[in-house]
Structure 1
Amino acid sequence: MVSPAGLVAEKAAATAFANVVMGRLNRELDKKYQMWKNIRTEISSLQTDLGILAAAVDDHQTMAAAPRTAVARVYGEEIRELTHDIEDCVERFLHRITCKPGASRARRSAHAIRTFRTRLRFAAKIKEFRSRVAEARERALKVAMLADGAQQSNIIDTVGYAQDCCHPVGIEWATMELRRLLDIEPNQDEAEGTSNNTPAAAQAQLRVVAIVGFGGSGKTTLAKAVYDNVHREGSLRCAWVDGHSLDHKDANGIIQHIQEKLHLGEGCSATLPTEQHQDRYFIVVDDMKDKHLMQWNSLRNAFRDNGRIIVTTDTQSLANRCCNHPREEDKCTFGYVYNMKSLGEEDSRKIALLGRCTPELVLGAAKLLKKCGGLPLALYSVACQLSCENVLTGKFCNKLCNELGTYLEREDDEPNFARLRGVLRENYTSLSDYTVRTCLLYLGIFPVDRPFKKNVMIRRWLAEGYARHHQGRHQTAANENFKTLINRSIILPVAPISNAIGKTCKAHGIMHAFTLHKSMSKKFIMPFGAQQKKVRHFFIHDSDVINSRTMPDIDLSRVRSLTVIGNACDAISNFSQYKLTRVLDMEGCIDVRDCHLKDICKLWNLRYLSLGPNITMIPKEIAQLKLLETLDASKARVNVLPVEAIELPCLIHLIGKFKLQDPVKTERLPKECMLETVAGFVADKGRGFLLLMDHMKKLNKVKIWCECEETEQDQAGMNGNLSKAIQKYIETPMGEDNVRSLSLYFQGLPQGSLSALDQICQHYSLRAGHVCHLSSLKLHGNSNPAILPKFVALFRDLTKLSISTTVSVTRYLLSVLGEMPVLLYLKLAANSVDGLVIQHGKFRSLHCLCLELKLVGTSVLTIEDGARSEIISLQLICKNLVGLSNIEITHLRELKEIALHPDVAEETRKAWEAEARNHHNRPNVLSIAGDHEEEPAHEYHIREEHPAAKNETPATCSALALEVDPESNATSPVKPGLVVDFAKGAESAPASWHAAQLQTVPTSATC
Structure 2
Amino acid sequence: MEAAVVSALMTNIVAKLLVVLDKRSEQLSGLAGDIKHMQSELSMIAGDMEDHLSQKAQPSVVQSSFITRMRDLAFDIEDCLDQFLPCGACDGEPMSIGDQVDFSKEIQKLKKQLEDAHQQKTNYGVKIGSQQQAAAGQLLFLADDDASAFEDHHHHVGIEKPKQELLELLDGESEKMIVISIVGFGGSGKTALAKAVYHCPQVRRKFLHRAWVVASKHKDDAKQGILRAIVQQLLPSVAPDEIRTKQAAQLQELLRERLGIARTRCLIVIDDIEKLLWEALKPIFSAVKSITLLLTTNVQSVANACSSGDGYVYNMRNLGKEESKTLLKNKVSFFQASSPDSEDGSDAIVHKCLGHPLALVSVANHLLDEKELTGQFCQDTCRRLGIHMDENKNNNFTKLRQVLMTNYSSLPAGSSLRTCLLYTSLFPDGRPVSRKTLTRRWLAEGYIEGRLQHSDLEVAEENLKKLTDRNIILPVDSSNNGKAKTCKPYGIMHHFMLHRSMSSNFIAKSFGAKNRSNYRHLVIENHTNGTASSNDHHGASSSHGHLNKICTYVKKNLDNTGSVNKMRPRSITVFGSGGEAVHSNLTGCKLLRVLDLKDCNDFGDAHVDNIYKLLHLKYLTLGSSVSNLPVKMKKLHCLETLDLRKTKIETLPLEIISLPHLAHLFGKIKLKRVSAKNRKNFNLQTLAGVVVDSNSGFPELMVHMKKLTKVKIWCEITSTDSNHAMLSEAIHKFAQAGADISVGPRSLSLHLNNSSKDLLQGDSSNATSSTPGYLSSLKLQGGLSQFPQFVMSLRGLKELCLTYTNMTGANLLPGLRKLPRLVCLKLVEVDLADLDIKDKDLPSLQRLCIVVENPKFPTIKDGALPRLVSLQLLCEHLVGLCGVIKVEGFEALQEIALDSMVNQPTIQLWENEAKKHPKRPRVCLLKRVIVPAETSWPSVKYVALCQDDSNCYTDTCTIDHMEIDLEDPTLQPNS
Aligned partners of 2:693 and 2:723 also within 8 Å: yes
Aligned AA (1:463): A
Which residue pairs with 2:196 in the alignment?
Answer: 225
Distance of aligned partners of 1:454 and 1:598 in 2 relative to their CA distance in 1, 3 Å threshold: same
The alignment status of 1:78 with 2:69, answered yes or no, reads: yes
Of 387, 394, 403, which residue of structure 2 is paired with 1:414? 394
Q: Indicate the residue corresponding to 1:441 in structure 2.
A: 422
2:245 alignment counterpart: none
2:321 pairs, out of 336, 340, 345, with 345
Amino acid at match of 1:262: L
1:19 equivalent in structure 2: none
**Are the counterparts in 2 of residues 776 and 964 from structure 1 also a CA contact under 8 Å?**
no
Aligned: 1:279 with 2:264: yes
Q: Establish whether residue 875 from structure 1 lines up as the match of residue 872 from structure 2.
A: yes
1:745 to 747, 751, 755: 751
Report the CA distance shift for 1:949/1:596 in structure 2 as closer, same or farther (over 3 A). closer
Among residues 675, 682, 691, which one is paired with 2:691 in the alignment? 682
What percentage of aligned pairs have identical amino acids? 34
Residue in structure 2 matched with residue 390 of structure 1 by the alignment: 371
What CA distance in whole angstroms lies between the structure 2 residues aligned with 1:269 and 1:34? 63
Instruction: Identify the match of residue 909 of structure 1 among 907, 923, 932.
Output: 907
Q: 1:900 matched to which residue of 2?
A: 898
- 1:524 and 1:949 mapped to 2: Cα distance? 35
Counterparts of 1:477 and 1:694, CA distance in 2: 29
Tell me what 2:476 maps to: 494
Gaps of 5+ in 2: 1-23, 239-250, 527-531, 537-541, 558-564
- Contact preservation (8 Å) 1:316, 1:488: yes
Map 1:833-912 to 2 at 5 A: 833-857=832-856, 860-864=858-862, 866-867=863-864, 869-886=866-883, 887-912=885-910
Match of 2:408 in 1: 428
| 1:704 aligned partner | 713
Confirm or deny: 8 A CA contact 2:637 2:660 kept in the other structure: yes
**Equivalenced residues, count:** 884
Following TM superposition, by how much is the alpha carbon of 1:508 offset from its aligned partner in structure 2, in angstroms? 1.2
Question: SS of the counterpart of 1:845?
Answer: coil
**Residue 204, structure 1, aligned to residue 175, structure 2:** yes
Quick one: structure 1 residues 371 and 762, their matched pair in 2 at CA, closer, same or farther if it must change by over 3 Å?
farther
Distance (whole Å) between structure 2 residues aligned to residue 44 and residue 791 of structure 1: 56
Which residue of structure 1 lines up, in the alignment, with residue 351 of structure 2?
A: 370
Aligned-CA RMSD value? 3.4
Change in 2 beyond 3 A, CA 1:943/1:745: same
Secondary structure at the residue paired with 2:595? strand
Deviation, 1:174, is: 1.2
Stretch of structure 1 that moved more, 450-459 or 399-408? 399-408
Question: Residue deviations 1:923-950, cap 9 Å, x none?
Answer: 1111114586789999985345599999
Residues 163-172 or 380-389, more deviating: 163-172
Match of 1:992 in 2: none
CA 1:667/1:414 → structure 2, altered by over 3 Å: closer, same or farther? same
1:630 aligned residue (641, 663, 676): 641
Residues 579-635 of structure 1: per-residue CA shift (max 9 Å, x gap): 111100000001101111111111111110000000001110110100000000001
- The residue number in structure 2 matching 1:541 is 525
Aligned amino acid, residue 314 of structure 2 = Y
Residue by residue over 1:116-136, the C-alpha shift from the partner in whole angstroms, topping out at 9 and shown as x without a partner, is 233212112212222333344
Offset, 1:796: 1.1
Larger radius of gyration: 1
Per the TM alignment, residue 380 of structure 1 is displaced from its structure 2 partner at its CA by 0.2
Deviation string for 1:490-548 (max 9, x for gaps)?
11122378844421112111101100011011101000242222221111011256253
C-alpha deviation, 1:700, in angstroms: 1.1
Q: Which moved more, 1:544-553 or 1:392-401?
A: 544-553
The residue aligned with 2:171 is 183
For the Cα contact (< 8 Å) 1:800–1:826, is it kept in 2? yes
Which structure is higher in RCO with an 8 Å CA cutoff and minimum separation 6? 1
CA distance 1:954–1:360, change in 2 (3 Å): closer
Change (3 A) 1:454 1:403: same
CA offsets, 1:775-819, max 9 Å, x none? 10000111121x42x222111111111000152433242133134
Residue of structure 1 in register with 2:823 after alignment: 824
- Compute the TM-score of the two structures, normalised by the length of structure 1: 0.82
Distance 1:389 1:380 in 2: 15
Match of 2:921 in 1: 923
Shift of 1:431: 0.8
Among candidates 539, 556, 561, match of residue 571 of structure 2: 561
2: distance between equivalents of 1:460 and 1:653?
12
Question: Could you tell me which amino acid in structure 2 is paired with residue 686 of structure 1?
Answer: N
1:144 counterpart = 2:134? no
> Is contact 1:564-1:588 (8 Å) kept?
yes
Aligned to 1:508: 490
Query: How many Å apart are 1:100 and its aligned residue?
Result: 11
Counterpart residue type for residue 908 of structure 2: K
Do the aligned partners of residues 208 and 499 (structure 1) sit closer, same or farther apart at CA in structure 2, a change above 3 Å counting?
farther
Structure 2 residue 136 is matched with structure 1 residue 153 = yes
Shift, 1:556, TM fit: 6.0
Alpha carbons of structure 1 residues 496 and 758: separation in structure 2 relative to 1, 3 Å? closer
Q: Does 1:262 align with 2:234?
A: yes
> Structure 1 residues 954, 511: CA separation in 2 closer, same or farther (over 3 Å shift)?
closer
CA distance in 2, matches of 1:268, 1:54: 48
Give the whole-Å Cα distance in 2 for the aligned partners of 1:34 and 1:44. Answer: 11
1:558 shift after superposition: 0.9
Alignment check: 8 A CA contact 2:505 2:519 kept? yes
Q: What are the residue-to-residue correspondences of 1:317-336 with 2, within 5 Å?
A: 317-325=301-309, 333=310, 335-336=311-312
Q: Specify the SS of the correspondent of 1:697.
A: coil
Aligned match of 1:595: 606
d(CA) in 1 for partners of 2:584, 2:765 = 57
Q: Higher mean Cα deviation, 482-491 or 89-98?
A: 89-98
1:453-532 paired onto structure 2 within 5 Å: 453-471=434-452, 473-495=455-477, 499-528=481-510, 529-531=512-514, 532=516
**Paired residue type of 2:470:** R
Q: In terms of mean alpha carbon deviation, does 956-965 or 892-901 score higher?
A: 956-965
TM-score after normalising by structure 2: 0.84
Q: Secondary structure at the match of 1:580?
A: coil
Alpha-carbon contact 2:349-2:360 (below 8 Å) kept: no
Other-structure match for 2:741: 735
CA shift in 2, pair 1:743/1:177, >3 Å = same
Where 2:900 maps in the other structure, the secondary structure is coil
Deviations for 1:95-143, whole angstroms, at most 9, x for unmatched residues? 4999997xxxxxx8xx97xx32332121122122223333444566753
Show the counterpart of 1:1001: none
Is the CA contact 1:49–1:133 (under 8 Å) kept in the aligned structure 2?
no
Give ranges in structure 1 of 5+ residues lacking alignment.
1-32, 102-107, 185-201, 326-332, 969-982, 984-1007
Greater shift, 257-266 or 884-893, is seen at 257-266
